[in-house]
Structure 1
Amino acid sequence: MNYEYKEKEKKNGVCVSIRDKGENSLLEVEIIGNNVKMVTYIRNDYTAHFEMPLELFEQMYKKLMENHING
């Protein structure tokens, strides 16, 4: 695997990041209040940010894991 997982403390809590070393891209995910914020960095050229309610993120995660286990 060419990925690196890190956790870092931020003012609002913990931020989890996953770096794809081969592509030099990074995904950061953190919970801010009742929202989940995801930011992607691709080769330091492009940054995208997406934010959704925590409840929706939990629903999405649960569905993905159910399909993975039962799939």
Structure 2
Amino acid sequence: MRPAGPPGAGSGGRLALPPGLRWLDVGCGTGALTAAVLAEADPARVTGVDPAAGFLAHARDRVDDPRAAAPV
């Protein structure tokens, strides 16, 4: 018997969620998770928020996808 993965995980550890969802990345930092969600989950939109303006600026520079937003 294999141990259960995190809720929503499909085979191979990928998220088993339908495409087109809207995501909120709280504490997005440099945008690594935002970029991964965009690549793996086919979301309609990912909004990243972080209290550190420098991290948000880095995330905006790093993630070049029209579905991503990092408001001030």
| Same fold, TM-score > 0.5, yes or no | no
Q: Say which structure is richer in helix.
A: 2
Higher relative contact order (CA 8 A, sep 6+): 2
TM-score class, shorter = under 0.3
TM value normalised by structure 2: 0.25
Q: Say which structure is richer in strand.
A: 1
